[in-house]
Structure 1
Amino acid sequence: MHESEQTSAADQSGDSDPTSAMAQALQQASQRILAHATMGTASHGQLVPSAANARKQARDLSELKGLVRAMGVLHNLVCYAQQRDGVPTGLLEIAAGKGRWQVVGELIAEGDLPEDYQLPYLLVGEDEAVLVSLAENLGRTAMHAADIFDGMRGLAAQGRSVADIALVFSVSELTVRQRLKLANVAPRLFDLYRADSASYEQMAALAVSDDHAAQLAAWDSLSAWERQPQRLRRLLTQHCVALGQDRVARYVGLKAYQQAGGLVTRDLFSTQEQGYIEDVALLDRLAQARLDRVAARLHKEGWRWIDVRCRIDASALAGYGRVRTETLPPTPEQAARLAQLELRVAQLRDALDHAEASGADEGGAAVRELAAVELEQGQLRATLQQPDRADRALAGALVTIDDKGKACVLRGLIRPQDRPQMAAGLEGGVKAKERVRGPHSARLTATLTAQRTLALRAELVRQPEVALRVLAHHLLRQVFYAERGGRAVQLDVKPPQLPPDAEDGVAWECWQAQRTALAAILPENGTSAGLMAWLRRQPRSVIDDCIAFCTASSVDGVHQDERTPAAVADLVQAVGLDMRKWWQPTAQAYFAHVPKAHLLAVVAQATSPAAAVPLERMNKQAAAEAAARAMAESGWLPAVLGGTGVDGAAQALAENAEVDADE
C-alpha cells in the first residue's frame, strides 16, 4: 500500500509532457538507487518522520487506516539512518511512507496492533532520500473509482459481508452498498464510466434499477445531450411511484402497503434513501377502498353523481366545470351594512398608505381592524351568493386525495361530458351572467398563464412523441375540420410575445437550456440546402427533438381571463402538466399582486388558519414575504394554473373541501 495518491494528472504516454518526463527520469534514477538498497523491519518507535519526505500536505488517512487494520502494512517504507553530528542515533527517518507509519501508531494506541509490530522498510542513503521520495509520489495515477467499485464487488463475491468491506476501507456500510450497486450497472455502461465517457451521477441514476436491459434501453433511447441523471432516473422508475412525493403513497402509508405484500425499491443515492413503490395497482386498490368509505357518507347530500378517483392530476381536474353562483339582491339592512363596511375599508387603507408614505409607525391596530372589516365584508357578500339551480342539477362530488396525502371531497363539480349541457343552459338564457371577479388582475393572470405556457413548451421538448401528436392534431383540424374553435399551436412558428415578468423562474431557465442544447448541435450553415443536408445525416431521435422544440416554440397559452381555454386545457392534459414542478407562489411572483384578504385566505387554507393570524398585523410586503415562506412546501396552486384556489373560478372547490375525519 502506498501512502501517496494522485498528485499529477500527466499523460505518461506523451514525451511532450514535462511532468511525465520528470516522473520517468525520477523512476529510472530511483531504480538505480534501490538496486543496492537493503531491506529490513523496524518497530514504530524506531522510526521518525523526515524532512526529506516530498509529501507535505496533510490528507485523510481514514481509508488507509482501515486497510492497514485489515491487511497490515503491505508496502514497505523508504528510510535512511538518522545521524547527529555524524554519529548514528539508532533511529530511521522516513523519506516515503509517513502515512503508513502514522496509522500504525494510531492502531497500536487503540489496541488493534501490538506495540512491537514490525514495519518493512528499504534503507537508502540520506543524500538519496529526497530523490526516492519524489520518485514514489510524482506521476502516480490514482485508481479510477470504477476499479475501486469493481474491487469491492470482488470482495463481496468472495463472501465478504458489507460490514466487513466497510471495516476494511473505513467507510460507512451505506457507502459500500452504493459502490456495490454502481458496480452492478450493465457492463457496457460501466465501461463507459471507466473510460470517463459517463459521469458518476449518470451511473447513480442508472443504478436505481437492477435490470440491465432496462438500463441499456433508457440510455440508448436518449441522445447524448438528453442523458441528464434525473431523466434517466425518471425513465427507469416511470412504472413506479415515489414514496415521499406521491400523494396516494402518503395516504395509504408504507406500513399498510408492505403489510399487503407490496415491494419497495430503494434509491441508495438519494439523500433520504428515497423509495419507489413497484406495485402501483395494489397501492391504488388500498387507497380506493378507503376512499369508498368516505364516498358512502355523501349519498345523503343528494348530489347527482359521486365519483371516487384516487389519482386525478391538475389537467384532468381542469376539465371539470364548477357550479356557477348568482348574486341575490341585498336587503335594505344588508345594503346599509355593506356601504358602511366599504367606507370603513377605504378610510383604513388611506390611513395605512399615508402612514407608510410618511414613515410613521401606524401600529397593528389599523391592520387588525382592516382585516376584520374585510372578513366581515366577504362573509356578508358570501351570504348573497347561491348556486345556480340549473347547474346544481348537474353537479356532483369528487372524492380524491389532496397534495398533503389526505382524503378530501370536492363538491359542486360539473363533469366534462355535462359541460355542453351547462353551456347550452347559459346560451338559452336571456342574458349571460357576469363573471364573478377573481383575486387576480388581468396582468397577473397573463403572467401566471405565461409561466404555464413556458412549462408546456419545456414538457413538449421532453416528450417529442406528444409533440408529434399535437402537431398532427393541429394539421388535421385545419385540413379536415376547417379549424373550428380556438387553438393552442400556431403552425407558422411565430413565438408569441410573453409578458416580461414571465422571463424568470424554473420554466424559463429550462426553456433557455433546451434552446441552447439544441442550438449547439445545429450546423453553422443555416441555408436551406445546408440544413437539409444536415438533417439527412441525423438519426430519427434528433429529428424528433427538432420537431418537438419547434412545435413547442409555437405554444401560446397566455390569456387574461381566469377561465382556461379548452384548447389549452387539452394540451395541459396531453403532456400531463403539473405546474407544481415549474412554479410556486413567491412574494414577487404572486402574493405581492393579490389583495391581502386573498393572501390570508390562501395561507389559512393551504397551511392552517393559525399560520395566517400573524400575517394580519404585517404590512402588505412583509405579509407577502411571510406567506411565501409559509407556503414554500405546500404545493398550492391558484385555480388558473390547475390548483384548487380559494376564490374566483375555484370558489366552489375551496369552500366545499372536506378532510376525512378518519385520517
Structure 2
Amino acid sequence: MTTTVIIELNKLDADPKNVRKTYSADSIAKFAANIEANGVLHNLLVRPGAKKGRYFVTAGERRRKALLLLVEQGKIEKNHPVECKVKTAEEATEISLSENVEREAMHPVDEYEAFSALADEGRSITDIAARFGVTEVIVRRRLALAKVSPKLLELYRAEKMTFEQLSAFTVSDDHERQEQVWDNLPHWDNEAYRIKSSLMTGEVAYTDRRVKLIGGLYDYEQAGGAVRRDLFGEPGEGYVLDVALLDRLAMERLEEVAAPYREKGWKWVETSFLRPDWIFNIPRVYPVEVEPTSEEQAEYQALHEEWDDLAELINSDMDDEKAGQRMDEISRRMDELSGKREIYQPDDMARSGVIVFINQSGNAQVDIGIVRAEDEDDAEEAEGEEDQDGTEDDGAETETGTGTEPVTDAAPKFAPSQSLIEVLTARKTTALRVELAHNPDVALAAVVHAMLLRISYGSGQTSVKSALQVSLTHERTEKWIKPPLECAASAAFENLQENYGHKIPGNPADLFDWCLEQSHEELMSLLAYAAAHSVNAIETKFSDRREGIAQADQLGRALKVDMTKWFETTADSYFNHVNRRGIEQAVLEAQGPEAALAVSAAGKKAEAVLIAERRIKGTGWLPVPVRIAADPNAEVEAEPFPMAAE
C-alpha cells in the first residue's frame, strides 16, 4: 500500500537502486526554473533510508536535484516540504526502471499548442524554454508550426505524415498552397526536400550547383546577398533570395576558368550554367599522341615508382607530412609529363571550341574540341576524321586525355594505396555480380552493349569500354578477399553458383539440348547469371581497362546497387589499411570537422582506428573505390542533410 507523506528536503537522499545515474547540469538548471514557476507537479517516490527518519528517492532524483539547486540559489529553504509517496525497498528498482523507460515525450503538435498559448500571453521564448526544461531552439521550432495548415497538423496527429514532412511546410505560410502541394505530390515522392522545393519555387536552395560553384552561402552573403534560412535546417543550409546576384557570381567564376582557353587559340569559348543538350552526338576533335623523349619516359617511370613507395610509407603511419607533400609534388609533375604526350593540333583548334559549365557536383567543367555545324568547313572530311561520339563522362578525364576536364580548387590530399584499391574494388565487383545476377533485364542490356562494341567498333573496344568481360573471362576475387565467405557478396555469389550448379546438366555434351528445352524466363535468368561472372571492376596497378572499370558505375546505377548492403566500413575492412590522414578524411566526410578532431587528437593509430570505427558505424559512409558514383549528367536535386535529432 502506498502512503503519501510530507518530507523535508534535507531528509531526502539519492537512492543507489535508481537506474538513472547521470544528470546534466543544464537539464537540472532548466528543471529548477520550471519548478520555481510551477512547483513540483508530481510526487517523488521514496523508500525508507538507511538511517531512521531519512528516505531514499527511488523516482524523482532530477526533481530532488532541482530543488537542491533552488536551495543553493536562496530561493527555498533547505527544509522545504516535499510531497512524497512511500514505497518498499523491494519495489525500488522496478519503479525506477519503469519511470525512466516508459516515459513518453509530449507530441510535437501538443507542445506547439502549449508553447503558443504561453507566447500569446506575452511570455518570451527564453521563459517558455526554462519553464518546460527544453532548449530555445525547440521552442522556436514548435512555434514555427503556426505557419502550417491546421489540416496538415491533423494529418500529422493521425500519423499520416512524418515530422520531417510537417516541418518542411514551415518554409511558407500559404495554407492553401501547402495543402495543394501535399495533395498533388505522389506518395512515393513526397519527402521533405521535395515539399520544400515545391513551395519555394522563387528561391534557390543551398544545394544548387551555382551556390556550390561560388563556395556556398557564406561567399554569396559576403558579396551582399540575402539568405532565408529554414528554422528546421542545419547550419550552412538556406535559400538564396537574390538570384540575379548569384547568377553574376557564378558567371564570373566560369569566366575565370574559361579565360586560359581563350588565349590558347580555340575558335570559340562559351560558358553555361548547365551542360548544353546539343553537345551530344556532334563531332569533336581529339588530341594527337606525341612520343615522349627517353628522358621524359624515364622520369615518369621513376616518379611512378616513388609515388607507390611513399603510399606504402604513409600506410605504415610513418612520416606522413613530408611523404604527403612529396606525393603532391610528384602528382603535379606526372600531370605535366602526361600533358606533353597528347596535344591538340592548331588546325583542329581553329575549327572547334570549348564549353565551360557547372557539373552536378558544383564544379566548373570543361568540354573541349566541340565542332558545331557552322564550324565545319568541309563536312565530308570531318565525317572521315572526327569521332561522332561526343558523350564524354562528366567526371574524371583531363583535357590531354579525352577532351573533358573537370576543374577543382585543389588536388585531394589522400588516396588509398594501390593494394587497398584492388581489395576494395574486388569487393565492389562481387557486389555488382550478385546484383546483376538477380536482374536479367539489365544483364541482357549489358551483354548486348558489350557485343555491339565488338561488332561495331572492333574487337579491342569490348575489353576497354565495358565492365563485362563478355568473352566470359572470369576474374577470381579470392586473392584479394580473404577468406571470401566473410564477404557478404562473395558468400551470396557462392550460393548462386551452388543453386545453378544443381540445374545445369553434368555432361557438357547435354547442355545445348537442355538449353533448348528451357523457358524464355529461365534462359534470361541463366543469361544474367552467366553475364554476372564476367563483371570486372577491379582496379589493378597496371590496367588497360580504365574506361571499362568506369562503366561499372553506370552498370551499378542501372542495377540500383546499394553498396551499404554489401560493405561495412570497419577497422578490418578499411581503417587498419590506411594512414591517419585517410582515417581523418573518412570521419570528416561522414560526421564533420568536430568528429574528425577526435581522430586527430588520438595518441596512436590504433586508438584513432577505434574512434573512427565507432564514429562511422551507422552513417553509411563508404570508401571511394567501393562507391557507385553518381551519374554526372543527372539533373536530380540533391537531398538535404537529415535534420539532427532534437
| Larger CA Rg, structure 1 vs 2 | 1
**TM-score w.r.t. structure 1 length?**
0.46
